[in-house]
A and B are shown apart, each in its own frame.
Chain A
Amino acid sequence: MSRFRVAVHIAPRRGLLDPQGKAVTDALRTLGFASVQDVHVGRHLVVEMDAADPAAAERTTRDMCNKLLANPVIEDFEIASVSTL
Chain B
Amino acid sequence: MTPLPRPGDPTITPALIAEHGLTIEEYQRVEQMLGRAPTFTELGVVSALWSEHCSYKHSRPLLRRLPTKAPYVLQGPGENAGVIAIGDGLAVAFKIESHNHPSAVEPYQGAATGVGGILRDVFTMGARPIALLNSLRFGSLDSPRVRYLFAGVVKGIGDYGNCVGVPTVGGEVAFDEAYEGNPLVNAMCVGVLHEKDLIRAVAQGVGNPIIAVGARTGRDGIHGASFASADLSEENEAKRPQVQVGDPFTEKLLLEASLELIHSGAIVAIQDMGAAGLTSSSAEMAARGDVGITIDVTKVPLRERGMTPYEILLSESQERMLVVARKGREREVAAILEKWDLTASVIGEVIAEPVYRVTEGDRVVAEFPGTKLITDCPTYTPDAREDPTITALRARDVGSIPERREEADPLWTLEQVITSPTIASKMWVYRQYDHTVRTNTVIGPGGDAAVVRIRDTRRALALKTDGNGRYCYLDARIGARIAVAEAARNVACTGARPLAITNNLNFGNPRRPEVYFQLREATAGMAEACEQLGTPVTGGNVSLYNESPASAVYPTPVIGMVGLIDDLDSITRSHFSTEGDTIVLLGTPTAELGGSEYLARVHHLVAGAPPNCDLKGERDLIEAVLASIEAGVVRSAHDSSDGGLAVALAECCIIDRGRPLGARIDLSSFAALPMRALLFGEAQARIIISTPDPTALREVATRHGVTSTTIGTVASADDPLEIRVGDRTLTASLPWLDRLYFETIPDIMTKSAAAVVTAATESPV
Contacts and interface: CB of A to CB of B under 8 A. Distances in A.
Given a CB threshold of 8 Å, the question of whether A touches B is answered with yes
Contacts of A30: 753
A24 interface: yes
Contacts of B756: 23, 26-27
A1 interface: no
A31 interface: yes
B400 interface: no
A23 B749 CA distance: 13
B760 A41 contact: yes
Interface string A2-33: 00000000000000000111011011001100
Nearest to A43: B764
Nearest to A30: B753
B362 to A, nearest CB: 34
Contacts, number: 22
Interface of chain B, main secondary structure: helix
Contacts of B754: 27
A31 B753 contact: yes
Contacts of A27: 753-754, 756-757, 760
A30 B752 CA distance: 9
For the side of the interface on A, what is the size category? 10 to 19
Contacts of A23: 756-757, 759-760
A30 B760 CA distance: 15
A20 B753 contact: no
Contacts of B761: 20, 24, 41
Q: Which of B756, B757, B759, B760 gathers the greatest number of chain A CB atoms within 10 Å?
A: B760
Q: Which of B757, B759, B761 gathers the greatest number of chain A CB atoms within 10 Å?
A: B757
Interface in B719-765: 753-754, 756-757, 759-761
A16 B497 CA distance: 54
A41 B757 CA distance: 11
Interface residues of B, number: 7
Contacts of A41: 760-761
Nearest to A28: B753
Interface in A63-78: none
A36 B66 CA distance: 59
A26 B751 CA distance: 10
A37 B195 CA distance: 62
A4 B460 CA distance: 58
A30 B756 CA distance: 11
Contacts of A26: 753, 756
Nearest to A39: B760
B142 to A, nearest CB: 16
A59 to B, nearest CB: 29
A47 to B, nearest CB: 19
Contacts of A19: 760
A2 B243 CA distance: 35
A77 B761 CA distance: 19
A20 B761 CA distance: 7
A41 B758 CA distance: 13
A24 B756 CA distance: 8
A24 B760 CA distance: 7
B151 to A, nearest CB: 12
Contacts of B757: 23-24, 27
Contacts of A31: 753
A33 B754 CA distance: 14
Interface string A31-56: 10000000001000000000000000
A34 to B, nearest CB: 14
A24 B754 CA distance: 9
A26 B757 CA distance: 9
Contacts of B760: 19-21, 23-24, 27, 41
A41 B760 CA distance: 8
A41 B754 CA distance: 16
B736 to A, nearest CB: 30
B545 to A, nearest CB: 33
Nearest to A25: B760
Nearest to A29: B753
Contacts of A20: 760-761
B148 to A, nearest CB: 11
Contacts of B759: 23
Interface string B469-511: 0000000000000000000000000000000000000000000
A26 B754 CA distance: 11
A67 B759 CA distance: 29
B765 to A, nearest CB: 13
B143 to A, nearest CB: 15
A15 to B, nearest CB: 19
Interface of A: 19-21, 23-24, 26-27, 30-31, 41
13 contacts: A19-B760, A20-B760, A20-B761, A21-B760, A23-B759, A24-B757, A24-B760, A24-B761, A27-B753, A27-B760, A30-B753, A41-B760, A41-B761
Interface of B: 753-754, 756-757, 759-761
List 8 tightest A-B contacts by C-beta distance, closest first.
A27-B753, A23-B760, A30-B753, A20-B760, A27-B757, A23-B756, A24-B760, A27-B756
Given A19-B760, A27-B760, 8 more contacts: A20-B760, A23-B757, A24-B761, A26-B756, A27-B753, A27-B754, A27-B757, A31-B753
